[in-house]
Amino acid sequence: MANILKVLKGTKDILPQNIDMWHFIEQKADEVFSKYGFKEIRTPIIEVTELFSRGVGDTTDIVNKEMYTFEKSDRSITLRPENTAGVVRSYIENGMSRLSAPVKLWYKGPMFRYERPQAGRQRQFHQVGIEMFGIKQPTADAEVILMAVNYLKSIGLNDLDVEINSLGCPKCREEFKNKLKEVLKPYFNELCEDCQNRYEKNPLRLLDCKVESCKKIFAKPEIQEVINSDFICDECAEHYTELKLYLDKMGVKYTENKLLVRGLDYYNRTVFEIKSNNLGSQNAVAGGGRYDSLVGQLGGEPTPAVGFAMGMERLISLLPEKEPKKLDGYVVSNFPVDAFVLAEELRNQGLNVELDLTNKKFTKQLEKASKVAKYAFILGEDEILKHQVSIKNLEKGNQITVDRHCCVKMLEI
């Protein structure tokens, strides 16, 4: 029988002692993305399954192996494994193509993929991400990458590696795929099962394979020659060169990685990932790129687009732990009714305040106050009679007595 008192494998509680860090990275996302004109969008966690099979691609691992799908009233519904498809659906459904371009949206929230859980990989995880619609020029790609790097810096992550690549357009990529298939053909039987499956459907994804025996095959000179050949057409090459020019100009350091192909089908031209050396095998904190065909493919007006998403658990695992925030005040008193009233007065003045609700002894209350709050607001008989409050700074130990109406003003004692 399933243990109902255990969280499901691959999922985690985010506990109150860790929530400050989540709020911190969410607030920074709002702050940094707003600077570039992005507005938050919240789309449902459930969508029609076909949105993902058509959007993310039915040759991808995500769609083939990892979706949480169920039937309800004869409809096949899926918990979103990522949010680009959902945001594109909303963009089309809400007529956002009528807005003046670019349309810039950001989001945060849980995603669901039935993967084998390991460090840095969960079945329910959270992403913060952005999508920009309506700009085909590489300035959009550059702005998006610059913003990702600046967001990461704003939360204290300065030493991450940005990798970029161009996948070309469907036309030039087709030629490359054929060349790749041709040169890999003699080794077909030595490829892993996944690569053999992808060989016909999506040969580019082979380059991303992590199986050692496959990597050895890809390292062979004749295959390297194809991988390193400049297969992209002039227009795609120009786009890529201009992107690099902007990144150079803005001092964004990057490396070019010809093996970077990404695990979702919708990309063309620019793809990028941001990686950390301190994350083990699941080392990507962010992934994204351009997807100029997706809006059209899902039934909207053809609209160029570019975006990225970051794994929030991975971001947090790279940040130093934060001490949980203390309350501003804790009311300490043997006069429960007066204490109750004072606590509410202080809250109304903007402080976070608690008090003992069980009528404990004064010393016990003070002990509790020093654990949970910065200041103790002490109400003895004297204070009540004179309409005063004694404020004790629980870090420094000093104490003053002030008129009750000005105790918030006196906090810097």
Residue numbers at the binding site for ligand HAM (CB under 6 A): 82, 84, 113, 115, 121-122, 125, 127, 129, 131, 263-264, 284-289, 307-311, 313-314
Helix ranges (H only) for 185-335 are 193-201, 212-218, 221-227, 234-249, 294-297, 312-318
Alpha helical stretches, state H, 94-168:
138-154
Nearer to ligand HAM among residue 206 and residue 407 (C-beta): 206
Shortest spacing between CB 408 and ligand HAM, in angstroms: 42
Pick 82 or 328: Cβ nearer ligand HAM: 82
- Nearest-angstrom CA–CA distance, 176 and 227: 9
Sign of the C-alpha dihedral, residues 223, 227, 230, 232? positive
Number of other CB atoms surrounding residue 255 within 10 Å: 11
**Token couple for 253:** 């350091």
Question: In the complex with ligand HAM, which residue's Cβ is closer, 122 or 365?
Answer: 122
**Contact, 127 vs 314, CB < 8 A?**
no
Nearer CB in complex with ligand HAM: 191/284: 284
Please report how close the Cβ of residue 175 comes to ligand HAM at its closest, in angstroms: 25
Q: What's the rounded Cα separation, in Å, for the pair 324 and 65?
A: 39
The two beta strands, 284-290 and 305-311, are antiparallel
From the number of C-beta atoms within 10 Å of its C-beta (0-12, 13-18, 19+), residue 185 rates as exposed
Nearer to ligand HAM, 308 or 377 (CB): 308
318 CB-near residues (< 8 Å, 6+ apart)? 157, 276, 278, 279, 285
Instruction: Please identify, using beta-carbon distances, which residue of 125 and 330 lies nearer to ligand HAM.
Output: 125
Whole-number minimum distance, CB 53 to ligand HAM, in Å? 15
**Nearer to ligand HAM among residue 292 and residue 313 (C-beta):** 313
Whole-number minimum distance, CB 398 to ligand HAM, in Å? Answer: 47
Least CB distance to ligand HAM at residue 98 (A):
22
- Supply the minimum distance, in Å, between the C-beta of residue 154 and ligand HAM: 17
Burial class (CB in 10 A: 0-12, 13-18, 19+), 338: middle
How far apart are CB 112 and ligand HAM at their closest, in Å? Answer: 9
Give the separation between CA 72 and CA 74, rounded to whole angstroms: 5
Query: Residue with CB nearest ligand HAM?
Result: 311
Closer Cβ to ligand HAM, 288 or 329, answer by number = 288
> Smallest gap, in angstroms, from Cβ of residue 231 to ligand HAM?
22
C-alpha 165, offset from chain centre: 21
Residue for token pair 């109150």: 16
Cα 169 to the center of its chain, rounded Å = 27
Q: Which is nearer to ligand HAM, 292 or 345 (CB)?
A: 292
Residue 100 CB, nearest distance to ligand HAM (Å)?
21
Q: How far apart are CA 40 and CA 34, in angstroms?
A: 9
* Residue 327 contacts residue 356 (beta carbons within 8 Å): no
